[in-house]
Amino acid sequence: MNINANPTDQEFLESLMISEWRPLPSEINEIQRALWHQAVEEMIESKQIEPERRETYLNILLDQHDPRKMFQGNNIERIKKKAIDKLNFEESELHKTPVGIFSTHELNACAIRTPSGTAVIALYISLWFYLKSSFFCVLAIALRNSETPLGEHHSDETYAINLLQMAEAAKKGIQLIVMTKTGEHSIADCVGPSASPDYRVVASLVESLTFILLHEYGHIFHGHLNSELIRMKVCGENKIEIYLTSHEQEYEADCFAIKRILESKKDSEEMKSLSLFSISMLFHFFDLCESERSKEIMGSHPPSLNRLKKIINVAENYFAKDLWKEIEKSLISVENIFNSAKKFEISLLEVGYEIYNTF
């Protein structure tokens, strides 16, 4: 399709979808399907989800086997619905913005101006896999002494090393699942394509992706795509213009997103606390993926920890003091976990790892 022939926004977004998808190896595919069926049944048995929601949850998981369904299937619809539910009346036009999941190696998302002058949003599929795996490691450490620990058969050191391992892969722009497979620090049974999903990891992933989508809505709402500064991006057979924003605009989009989350009348304070915890994990992982050089020349994006600090400053005003003290403790625990990962030497990462193409 010729994207210069005045396509609709939906057609424009579809034209950007990369056609060369790489499926998981069939043996991993079969293992994963069986585990996901089992995981959904266990969540129903433990009353984490209602039986009537069985098909919804199962479809969200199984869609990851089909690139076309990942593009605009159950996964993105779930995130989009959560984000749209938090928008105000005056932002109703944003509901019409097409959103899709793209198979790229970048750990990113972007709003793209269309030939018609409006916008579409692309969330990159690497976000799903890297964040799901890294959140598993963080929560395994954070929940070590809880009533229902996550991944209790591995040490905190193992999870910290694997967290750093994934960040190293993300820095290289690899669209892969990476986990150590040999020796003391192997957690292939917990992180990777054959790992059974955990509802706490899924919940954190959904909250962080909702923030990311709201951030992109914020760029559109505030007119940031009208920038004259652009860079070209190759997407399949097409070249598209990505509009460069300023640091101030990035902070403005962050503020738009966190305010919509915290001002939502549909969510409890517990859910808003989870959102903030998830956003903290998100930005700390982004920080782990930033090289020292990239922090100095971040271009349009400020350093991740600077962004997180401003988000937390906004969030503090939305909670009672006693609750905020508890939230602060959880945010400090996230910070400490990521700081522990930073202390390991690169040599500890050379323990062998297995690589699976995702899509």
pLDDT in tens, 300-327: 678 999 999 999 999 999 999 999 999 9
pLDDT number for residue 175? 56
- 25 SS3 class: coil
pLDDT number for residue 166? 83
pLDDT number for residue 49? 82
Count CA atoms within 13 Å of residue 110 on its CB side: 24
pLDDT number for residue 230? 57
Residue 105 lies in a domain: yes
**pLDDT of 294 above 70:** no
Per residue in 222-273, pLDDT (tens digit) is 988 876 655 555 555 556 666 667 788 899 999 999 999 999 998 999 999 9
89 versus 94: the higher-pLDDT residue is: 94
pLDDT number for residue 359? 35
Residue 341 lies in a domain: yes
Residue 3 lies in a domain: no
Q: How far is 219 from 66, CA to CA, in rounded Å?
A: 30
Q: Which of 130, 140, 57, 70 is nearest to 100 (CA)?
A: 70
Residue 4 lies in a domain: no
Q: Please give the residue range of the domain that contains residue 23.
A: 9-357
Q: What is the mean pLDDT of residues 76-92?
A: 92
- 319 SS3 class: coil
**pLDDT of 145 above 60:** yes
Residue 187 lies in a domain: yes
Largest CA distance in the chain: 59
Burial class (CB in 10 A: 0-12, 13-18, 19+), 88: exposed
Q: Which of 75, 95, 74, 76 is nearest to 84 (CA)?
A: 95
Number of folded domains in the chain?
Answer: 1
Per residue in 168-219, pLDDT (tens digit) is 878 876 655 556 666 666 776 666 555 666 888 889 999 999 999 999 999 9
Provide the pLDDT confidence category of residue 129 given band limits of 50, 70 and 90: confident
pLDDT number for residue 242? 64
Residue 162 lies in a domain: yes
- Residue 249 and residue 305 in contact, taking contact as beta carbons nearer than 8 Å: no
Residue 125 lies in a domain: yes
342 versus 106: the higher-pLDDT residue is: 342
Choose the weakest-confidence range: 35-39, 48-52, 187-191: 187-191
pLDDT number for residue 351? 47
pLDDT number for residue 228? 61
Residue 1 lies in a domain: no
55 versus 254: the higher-pLDDT residue is: 254
Q: How far is 285 from 71, CA to CA, in rounded Å?
A: 24
**pLDDT of 61 above 80:** no
- Residue 178 and residue 353 in contact, taking contact as beta carbons nearer than 8 Å: yes
Q: Beta 230-235 vs 238-243: how paired, if at all?
A: antiparallel
Q: Which of 198, 194, 197 is nearest to 146 (CA)?
A: 198
Question: What is the pTM (predicted TM-score) of this model?
Answer: 0.85
359 versus 114: the higher-pLDDT residue is: 114
- What's phi and psi for 346, nearest 5 deg? -60, -30
What are 117's two structure tokens?
């002058």
Provide the pLDDT confidence category of residue 1 given band limits of 50, 70 and 90: very low
- Residue 344 and residue 185 in contact, taking contact as beta carbons nearer than 8 Å: no
